[in-house]
Chains A and B, each alone.
Chain A
Amino acid sequence: MRKKFGIRQILLLVLILICLIVPTFVKTPYMLGIFVTTFYIGCGTLAWSVLGSLTGEISLGHAGFMGLGAYIGALLMNNKHITPWVGMLVAFVVVGLLAACLLAPCFVLSGPYFTLVTIAFAEAFRNLFTNWDYAGKGQGILVPLKEQGMYSMRWISKVPYYYIALIMLIVFYVILRKIDRSKLGYALKTIREDEETANAVGINPFKYKFIATFISAGLIAVVGVFYANYIGYINPDIMKQSQALNYVMPAIIGGIGSITGPLLGAIILTPLSEFLSATLSHIAGGLNLVVYAVIVIAVILFRPTGIMGWFDHSKFKKKMNDRFDAIDAKLFGKRG
């Protein structure tokens, strides 16, 4: 356990500081928008990771849970004038519980069968909302920009959203790190590796899968509330299974099995897809998607464990650790 302050912590602080001052340099809404998208996709990926990476249950229904959260936030604001901040809390609890209760009977299913069930639930929700008058049917609902400010979480400028998304990302990451190193994390990882072993050391798989689903779906519902207010318009299409891939792909590319991997994947993939669509799509329609797909396929083919999976076992990591330790020793003298 490294609790001491060293070069790694300094680098992390510098990184956070850079993130904090980005809006003073980046002025165009388009560029800032890419940052915001990266951050909330990162949050979504981290939320997905609780179930996908830690527990090893691949869900393709998370867009559905995110959409539920978005609807809860938007409807509360529009019809009851309840601030989205409270909406986030409500979405976390309601969607978390709903998802956990719905998926609980399906925990006995493993692998692809569980994944299919998650798709089915998301589709069911999408159909429900497409036909539900109160939720605006297929046209969706607008979150009108009547008043700007903290209470309504609505601004014309993208800068406040930038900071909210950044803070949300940091909070999500810290939560996941905490889970990863806690009793819950060990339970989930043991279940992921082998359910029979989990039973044999005294872990009740059902109980912990329930908790994991609750946290995972709850967190992504919080992202949904943010999304509704950031975009200002939601419709049932955001619950599509293809939308769920936005959160699954970064995790797979970054490396399922760690916490940093999914985050790294989001930071790489979202700007990459934006960059490709900006540079390639006017040459030939859809070319950007082809290149994007080729990159993703290449990573999956040659680095099936993802970027972090490769990094964790590489000599490069050891070298970097040694380098950092050397700098630590020089800067702070020998300790521990």
Chain B
Amino acid sequence: MAELLEIKNLTKNFHGLKAVSDVSFTVEKGSITGMIGSNGAGKTTVFNMISGVLTPTSGSIIYQGKDITGTKACKYTGMGIARTFQIMKPLRNMTVLDNVVSGAIFGRKQLNAVQAREYAAEILEFTGLYDKKDLYPKDMGTPYKKRLEVARALATDPELLLLDEVMAGLNPTETDEAVELFQKINEQGTTILLIEHIMRAVASLCQKVVVMHHGEKITEGTPEQVMNDPYVIEIYLGKEED
């Protein structure tokens, strides 16, 4: 499989604090790649660098063979990279439909407002939000708000979708539904890179998992390999007393 995204020696310092140090990994086209690690491991910082919110201190991000390090955040959907936020950011005073229309207009498809409304309706249908299209985000529960985040990102017609803990706070049934949705998105050809804490979801979705700890990548591999790695077990469950 070809590489869609290649992260090379990515480092980010915040005034002397090393948030991310020397992280490298690749995301294969058409795959679902997961990133796990404890809180403060630097996962979201890596995401923010891939989506242009933060500029790396050093290292490079190569997307479709092009170095895109330091590109302005608003240029990413045009290149086919869309993201969601860990802290949900619904457009509060806009209806669910309008939330998604925003994504559709300014995404890769270059639609006009009328076409965008039609396309947004399709996306809502696909993500199972269509019957809520006239509601405001505050009138929906967390699972639907998380879906809305995904729908808005999806409306930009991404090649690579970055999902930042979109399953956090969901109950097992809702998690299964979300997993199903991401599989459906992936089957349509969208590559996914996701941060997640729920191991069950990660295990059933991802072909490859990257584990981060204290800003460094400690290992990568299939979910089984990673979960049986003694160091990962030590980080997650603590070290056995001798």
Write the residues of chain A forming the contact surface with B, with a CB cutoff of 8 angstroms. 1, 181-183, 185-187, 189-190, 192-194, 196-205, 257, 313
Contact = CB atoms under 8 A, between A and B. Distances in A.
A303 to B, nearest CB: 15
Contact of B94 (A189, A200, A203): A189
Interface in B152-181: 152-153, 155-156
B91 A199 contact: no
B94 A202 contact: no
B106 A189 contact: no
A201 B93 CA distance: 17
Given A186-B101, A197-B91, A202 B75 contact: yes
Nearest to B76: A202
Contact of B102 (A181, A186, A204): A186
A201 B107 CA distance: 6
A182 B115 CA distance: 11
Interface string B82-111: 110100011111100010011101110000
B89 A199 contact: no
Contact of B77 (A190, A200, A313): A200
A186 B74 contact: no
Chain A, interface SS category: helix
Closest 8 CB pairs of A and B: A202-B77, A193-B91, A199-B73, A202-B106, A204-B74, A190-B102, A201-B103, A197-B89
Contacts of A205: 74
A187 B103 CA distance: 10
Given A181-B113, A186-B102, A187-B106, A202 B89 contact: no
Given A193-B90, A313-B136, 9 more contacts: A182-B113, A183-B105, A185-B113, A186-B98, A187-B105, A189-B91, A194-B91, A199-B73, A202-B107
Interface in B49-95: 51-53, 72-78, 82-83, 85, 89-94
A204 B72 contact: yes
A197 B85 contact: yes
Interface string B144-156: 0000000011011
B113 A200 contact: no
Contact of B113 (A183, A199, A201): A183
B112 interface: yes
A190 B76 contact: no
6 contacts: A181-B113, A186-B102, A187-B106, A196-B85, A197-B152, A202-B107
Given A183-B113, A189-B94, A196-B53, A203 B89 contact: no
A186 B73 contact: no
B82 A201 contact: yes
